[in-house]
A and B are shown apart, each in its own frame.
Chain A
Amino acid sequence: MNSDTPSSSAGGGGTGSADTTGARRNSKRPKYSRFTQQELPACKPILTPKWVISAFLLVSVVFIPIGVVSLFASRDVVEIVDRYDSECIPADARNNKVGFIQSSQVKTCNRTLRVPKHMKKPIYVYYQLDNFYQNHRRYVKSRSDQQLRSPGNEDDTSACKPEDNANGMPIVPCGLVAWSLFNDTYDFTHNNQQLAVNKREISWKSDRDRKFGKKVYPKNFQNGTLIGGARLDPLKPLSEQEDLIVWMRTAALPTFRKLYGKIETDLQAGDVISVTLENNYNTYSFDGKKKLVLSTTSWLGGKNDFLGIAYLTVGGLCFFLAMVFIIIYLVKPRQLGDPSYLSWNRNPGSH
Chain B
Amino acid sequence: MDSNSNSYSQLQNENSSLPDFIRNSSSQRSTSSIQSFHSKASGGHSVKEDARLVYINDPEKTNEKFEFAKNSIRTGKYSILTFLPRNLFEQFHRVAYIYFLVIAILNQLPQLAVFGRGASIMPLAFVLLVTAVKDGYEDYRRHRSDNIENNRLAWVLVNDQFQQKKWKDMRVGEIVKISANETLPCDMVLLSTSDTTGVAYIQTTNLDGESNLKTRYAKQETQMKNPEKEKISGLIKCEKPNRNIYGFQANMEIDGKRVSLGPSNIILRGCELKNTSWALGIVVYAGGETKAMLNNSGAPSKRSRLETHMNREIIYLSIFLVVLCTIVSVCHGAWLRRHKDDLVLMQFYRKKDYSEPKVDDYNYYGWGMEIFFVFLMSVIVFQIMIPISLYISMELVRVGQAYFMIRDDRMYDKASNSRFQCRALNINEDLGQIKYVFSDKTGTLTENKMEFQCASIGGVDYSGGKAISEDEQTGYSLRVEGQVFRPKMKVKVDPELLSLSKQKHTDEGRHVHDFFIALAACNTIVPLTVETSDPALKLIDYQGESPDEQALVYAAAAYGFMLIERTSGHIVIDIQGERQRYNVLGLHEFDSDRKRMSVILGCPDNTFKVFVKGADTTMFNVIDRSLNSNTVKATEDHLHLYSSKGLRTLVVGMRDLSASEFEQWQSSYERASTALMGRAALLRKVAYNVETSLSILGASAIEDKLQQGVPEAIESLRNAGIKVWVLTGDKQETAISIGYSSKLLTSKMTQIVVNNNSKESCKKSLDDALVMCKKLTTDSDATRRGSGARKTEIALIIDGTSLVHILDTELEEQLFNLSSKCTVVLCCRVAPLQKAGIVALMKNRANEMTLAIGDGANDVSMIQMADVGIGISGQEGRQAVMASDFAMAQFRFLVPLLFVHGHWNYQRMSYMILYNVYRNAVFVLVLFWYALFTSFTLTTAITDWSSVLYSVIYTALPTIVVGVLDKDLSRTTLLRYPQLYGTGQRQESYNGKLFWVTIMDTLWQSIAAFFVPLLAYWGSDVDRSSLGDLWTIAVVILVNIHLAMDVVRWYWITHAAIWGSIVATFICVMVIDVLPFLPGYWAFFHIAGTKLFWACLFGITIAALVPRFVVKIFIQYFRPDDIQIARELEKVENSRESRDAEIEMNPIFDPPRR
Contact = CB atoms under 8 A, between A and B. Distances in A.
Interface string B180-195: 0000000000000000
Interface in B563-611: none
Contacts of A145: 1076-1079, 1081
Given A6-B488, A10-B541, A41-B1051, 4 more contacts: A30-B407, A138-B363, A307-B1012, A342-B1122
B893 to A, nearest CB: 13
A225 B274 CA distance: 98
A5 B1024 contact: no
A254 B982 CA distance: 54
Interface stretch (B153-161, B951-959, B1089-1097): B1089-1097
Contacts of A46: 1127-1128, 1131
Contacts of A204: 1082, 1086
B523 interface: no
A262 interface: no
Contacts of A134: 1024
A179 B205 CA distance: 82
Given A6-B488, A342-B1126, A334 B1016 contact: no
Contact of B1103 (A126, A142, A310): A310
Contact of A211 (B345, B355, B1076): B1076
Contact of B362 (A161, A314, A342): A161
A29 B541 CA distance: 29
B211 A10 contact: yes
Contacts of A206: 1081-1082, 1085-1086
Interface stretch (B259-267, B410-418, B742-750): B410-418
A252 B348 contact: no
Interface in B751-806: 784, 788, 790-791
Contact of B935 (A254, A258, A310): A254
A211 B1127 CA distance: 57
- How many interface residues does chain B have, given as a range? 35 or more
Contact of B1050 (A23, A27, A42, A348): A42
Contacts of A76: none
A304 B1131 contact: no
A168 interface: no
Can you list the 3 inter-chain pairs with the closest CB atoms, starting with the nearest? A337-B1128, A206-B1082, A137-B937
Interface in A221-276: 224-226, 228, 249-259
25 contacts: A6-B212, A6-B541, A6-B542, A12-B275, A28-B419, A29-B419, A36-B403, A38-B404, A49-B1117, A63-B1102, A136-B348, A136-B937, A137-B939, A140-B1079, A162-B350, A206-B1081, A207-B1082, A210-B1081, A252-B1022, A255-B1019, A285-B346, A314-B1099, A339-B1125, A342-B979, A349-B790
A17 interface: yes
B1110 interface: yes
Interface of A: 2, 4-8, 10-12, 15-17, 23, 26-32, 36-38, 40-47, 49, 52, 55, 59, 63, 66, 70, 98, 126, 128, 133-140, 142-143, 145-146, 149, 161-162, 176, 179-180, 204, 206-207, 210-211, 224-226, 228, 249-259, 285-286, 299-302, 304, 306-307, 310-311, 314, 317-318, 321, 325, 328, 334, 336-339, 341-344, 348-349, 351
Interface stretch (B62-70, B227-235, B530-538): B530-538
B355 A252 contact: no
B791 A349 contact: yes
Interface string B223-255: 000000000000000000000000000000000
B506 interface: no
A253 B1127 contact: no
Given A28-B412, A179-B347, A342-B1125, A249 B1020 contact: no
Given A286-B342, A307-B1092, A44 B938 contact: no
Given A133-B935, A136-B348, A306-B1018, A252 B1102 contact: no
B138 interface: no
B533 A15 contact: yes
A80 B935 CA distance: 29
B1026 interface: yes
B499 to A, nearest CB: 26
B339 interface: yes
A41 to B, nearest CB: 7
B661 interface: no
A183 B345 CA distance: 18
B1050 A44 contact: yes
A307 B1020 CA distance: 13
Interface in B1085-1136: 1085-1086, 1090-1092, 1095-1096, 1099, 1102-1103, 1106, 1109-1110, 1112-1113, 1116-1118, 1120-1122, 1125-1133
A232 B63 CA distance: 88
A138 B349 contact: yes
Contacts of B92: none
Nearest to B1053: A40
Contacts of B1063: none
B349 A317 contact: no
A342 B977 contact: yes
Contacts of B528: 12
B934 interface: yes
Contacts of A59: 1102, 1106
